Each structure stands twice: as structure tokens, then as C-alpha cells.
Amino acid sequence: MAERSIWSSGVTLAVIAAICASLVALTWQLTAERIEANEKEWLARSLQPALAGLFFDSPVTESMITITAPHDLPGTEDAIIYRVYSGEDPVAALFIVSARDGYAGPIRFLVGIAMDGTVTGVRVLQHRETPGMGDRIETHKSDWVLQFDGLSLRDPEPRYWAIKGDGGQFDQLTGASVTPRAIIKAIRVTLAYFEVNRDAIFAAPAEVQE
Amino acid sequence: MAAGLIDRFKTGLWRENPGLVQLLGLCPLLAVTGSFVNGLGLGLATLAVMMASNALVSATRRWIQPEIRVPIYVLIIASLVTCIELIFKAFFPDLDRALGIFIPLIVTNCAIVARAEVFASRNSVVTSIIDGLVMGSGFALLLMVIGAFRELIGQGSLFARMDMLFGGEPVRGLVLVENGWLLLVLPPGAFFSLALAIAAKNAIDRRRKDARRPLPRRARSLNR
């Protein structure tokens, strides 16, 4: 008797789980394309500010290359790099990387790096940090990410690329130190990667985008 | 039927308002009500999940053994919330970014499980959907009221960024003063606002009760 009821409960659970899973799958199927389009539009809108003060005349989104994981950039997923040109001359590279050690999952963000290795802008694209604390990495909530503009691995030296609490030179966010720590580390790693791989990045052929 | 429906709405919006009276779903209520549009967005999402979960729970109530009902509620609610999250990402991407983690966190809103357990598992599909509508509206309305209050006092504006829901260029809304009393936007402000809302509701209820049954002054004070 008891055995039968366990079986029938199991079957009910399995059936309901299957129904729920197909519901989610169906919704995903219907929305995936739109979500991707939204992401792209959002991207085009948000790439711009990370290149402040640079002159360039190429459409940024057409010069994409993907660095397949595993790589030396932050994050475990594939990293994306957009190359920015003025005429034929490379001007800067835009990295989309994710800081894995955010407070609530990975933080995907944009780092623009000029040819001389200075940061041209940092913008957070996607995160799940606590509202009111870690979410001040967004530019419309605070100026925190703007402090990296114009800095490089020579100014300050790599060991000062840390929050003040860890002996570095950057402000932390009140009530949130995990988030800034993750971002600062990811920027530092990206800068180092750029220094080593700069020529290879600009030599790679652009990927065709649909 | 119509009178019954009105009564049901009175129950959901006022007498048994999930946020004000049952004090359920306080986490999202306190966390996202920094502005009217956030409150409205999360309110609508919660309302949709509540109606759909009530419908599904009610439709499957005859096949579900009581021992496994809770995992099934969790399963149903979690899938619905995932669907809503995808829909938000597809159609209201900015609002999705503003609400962030609190869309997926609708799963943990106990108001939804409570309605599934208390109501939908014992009633027909149609009445359960109505119950979801009524209770969800009560919750959404409270989110909007508190969101509007906090935005008004905390930022000095009202209905800012409504474009996140309706599209178009970013709008600043009605700006009354440039800067508000920041405390109201910060987390403590959420507690103060909710406390004020509950106090106001109780005060109105008490006044109404007194008006309905006028008692001699001495008897009334004893009655408290």
C-alpha cells in the first residue's frame, strides 16, 4: 500500500515536472530571439560611453572577435572583444568580460582600453548585486565606475589595484566590498591581458555577424 | 455574483490585503518599492504569477496527493516565475534590469504559496483565478502606493522612468522638487512607509467601526 502510494506520487511529480519544463521551454523558444535582440541593442547603446574621449570612425560592433574559454581573461565563459579603429589605425579595444566573484553571481561588464594601455571607460552590463548596495556600480546610481578612466597598470601599479580596505587606492562602496573587489580584480586582469596580447588582438580577422 | 465579486475585491484589497494584513511577501515589498514604476512592475509580475499558479494548482488539485503538494506548488510557481522573467527580459528589458534579482525572487513570495495552499487547492479553477486576481491586485496596489510615497518624499518626483514599462525615451516623470529626503528611498524608508501604511489602515478601520456602532464614551474605552 505504502509502496504504491510512493510510486504514484513519484509519477505525479514527474508528470507535473515535465509539464512545467515544457512550459518554460516554450516560453524560452518564443522569447529567445527578442531577448537576444534586446541585448544587442542595449550593447550598442552601452558600448559608446566606454570609449569617451576617443576619436574613431568604424562601427564598433562590426569588429568583434570572440576569445573562447578557457582564456586568461576574467570569467569562465567566452570573452568578446570589439576593436575600434580610426581609418586603418587601431585606437582601442573594448572587452566584455565577467567578474566571477561578484556577490550574487557573475558581473558582466565592459572595459575600454586605449592603445597605450589606459582605461577609457568601464560600464557594467549585467549583474545581480544587492539593490541599494552593490548596484552602485551602475552609472546612474553612482560615479563609482568612472574612477577608472585614464588609469593603467603603470598608474597605479598593479598592487594598488585594490580597494582601500585591502591596501589599494580605490574607494569601496558602503556596505559592499565584495562587488568592488571583484570588478577591480577583473579590470586589472584585463589590462594585463591587453598588454601581452595587444598585437594578436588587432591581427585577428573580424567575425562575420548575422 | 457581482455583489460577491465586489466583496471579494474588498477582501483582497483591504480586509485581507496580503501585504497590509497578512504581512506576506515583505521581502520584495520592502526591497523594490523605491519608485512607483518599480512597484508597478513587480506588482504586475506577482499578480500574473499568482493568477497562473492559482489556476494550475486548482486544475491539478484532484490528482495531487496531499503528501507531495508542497513540492508541486514550488515546481509550478518556479516555472511560472521563470516564464515571467523571460517575458520581462523580452518585452521590458529596462524594467528587468531595474528589478534585477527580485523578478526571480517572486518564487519566494509566500503570498503566492499561501493562496495556493489556502484557496486554490480547495476551489474551482475560475474562482481560484479570481482569487489570484484579487489577492494579486491587493499586493500590487500596496506596492504601487508605497512606491509612489517613497518616490515622492525620497526623490521629489512621481512616475519617473515610466518608459521602462511603456517604451519610448526615458522620462523623468513629475518632478516636484529636485532632491527629496533620501532616507525614504533607502531600506529603512521602506520599513517606515510600510508601518505608516499599516497604521493608516488600522486607524481607518477603527474609525469606521466606531462610526458604525456608536457607544457611550465610557463603554467604548472599555471596549478597547
Q: What percent of chain B has pLDDT over 90?
A: 35
**A11 located within any domain:** no
Residue with cell 508597478: B40
B52 pLDDT band, cuts 50/70/90, is very high
How confident is residue B128, by pLDDT bands cut at 50, 70 and 90?
very high
Q: Is A9–B67 a contact, with Cβ atoms under 8 angstroms apart?
A: yes
Lowest mean pLDDT among A59-68, A70-79, A140-149, B110-119: A59-68
Task: Tell me the percentage of chain B whose pLDDT exceeds 70.
Answer: 91
The alpha carbon torsion through A174, A175, A181, A186 (nearest 10 deg) reads -80
Nearest residue on chain B to A141, alpha-carbon basis: B98
pLDDT digits (tens, 9 = 90+) for A152-202: 998 888 889 999 888 888 988 877 888 999 999 999 999 999 999 988 888
pLDDT > 90: percent of chain A: 26
Q: Give this prediction's pTM.
A: 0.69
Helix (H, G, I), strand (E, B) or coil at A159: helix
Q: Is the dihedral of CA A59, A61, A66, A67 positive or negative?
A: positive
Residues A180, A136: Cα–Cα separation, whole Å: 10
Residue B224: pLDDT above 50? no
Winning range, highest mean pLDDT, from A81-95, A178-192, A196-210 = A178-192
Mean pLDDT score, A87-103: 87
Per-residue pLDDT, B126: 93
Q: Give the β-pairing of A119-126 and A107-114.
A: antiparallel
Q: Measured between CB atoms, which of B31, B72, B90 is closest to A131?
A: B31
A163 DSSP 8-state letter? B
Q: Residue range B42-62: average pLDDT?
A: 92
Within a domain: A39: no
Residue A159, classified by CB atoms within 10 Å of its CB into exposed (0-12), middle (13-18) or buried (19+), is exposed
User: Is there a contact between B36 and B158 (Cβ–Cβ < 8 Å)?
Assistant: yes
Q: Is residue A60 part of a domain?
A: yes
Query: Within 10 A of A88 (CB to CB), how many other CB atoms are there?
Result: 6
Q: How far apart are CA A98 and CA A107, in angstroms?
A: 5
Q: Is the pLDDT of residue A73 over 60?
A: yes
Highest mean pLDDT among A19-33, B14-28, B180-194: A19-33
Test B79 with A38 for CB contact under 8 angstroms: no
State yes or no: pLDDT of B149 exceeds 80: yes
Q: Which residues contact A109 (CB under 8 A, 6 or more apart)?
A: A96, A97, A98, A99, A122, A123, A124, A125, A126, A127, A137, A183, A186
Mean pLDDT, chain B, whole residue set: 84
Which of A12, A24, A128 lies at the smallest CB-CB distance from B101?
A128
Instruction: Report the share of chain A in percent with pLDDT over 70.
Output: 94
User: Is residue B102 within 8 Å of residue A131, measured between CB atoms?
Assistant: yes
Handedness of CA B7, B8, B13, B19 (dihedral sign): positive
The rounded distance, in Å, linking the Cα atoms of A125 and B96 is 13
Based on C-alpha coordinates, what's the Rg of chain A?
21
* pLDDT at residue A210 in the model: 47
Given a cut of 70, whether residue B27 has pLDDT beyond it is yes
Whole-number pLDDT of residue A39? 82
Above 90 in pLDDT, residue A40?
no
**More confidently predicted of B134 and B216:** B134
- Tally of domains in chain A: 1
What distances in angstroms separate CA A149 from CA A52, A117, A187, B220, one per listed residue? 9, 11, 11, 69
Position with higher pLDDT, B52 vs B158 = B52
Which DSSP state fits A57? -
| Domain extent at residue A135 | 49-203
Distance, CA of A94 to CA of A65 (rounded, Å): 10
User: What pLDDT is stored for residue B216 in this prediction?
Assistant: 57
d(CA B79, CA A21) in angstroms, rounded, equals 7
Please, where are the H alpha helices in chain A? 2-47, 178-203
In DSSP terms, A119 is beta-bridged to A113
Query: Strand A64-67 and strand B174-175: pairing?
Result: unpaired
Question: Is B161 a residue whose pLDDT tops 80?
Answer: no
| Mean pLDDT, all residues of chain A | 85
Cβ–Cβ under 8 Å, residues A52 and A121:
yes
Residues A161 and B11: their CA atoms lie apart, in Å, by 57
| Chain A residue whose CA is closest to B105 | A128
Contact A16 B93 (CB under 8 A): no
The confidence score (pLDDT) of residue A21 equals 94
Q: What are the chain A neighbours of B75 within 8 Å (beta carbons)?
A: 13, 16-17, 20
pLDDT for the residue numbered B11? 83
Helix or strand (DSSP H, E) at A124: strand A119-126
User: How many angstroms separate the CA of residue A13 from the nearest CA in chain B?
Assistant: 7
Residue A97 resides in a domain = yes
Lowest mean pLDDT among A176-185, B19-28, B115-124, B129-138: B19-28
Comparing B127 with A60, the larger pLDDT belongs to: B127
In sequence order, the β-bridge partners of residue A89 are A86
Q: What pLDDT band is residue A132 in, cutting at 50, 70 and 90?
A: low
Q: Quote the minimal CA–CA distance from B119 to chain A in Å.
A: 20
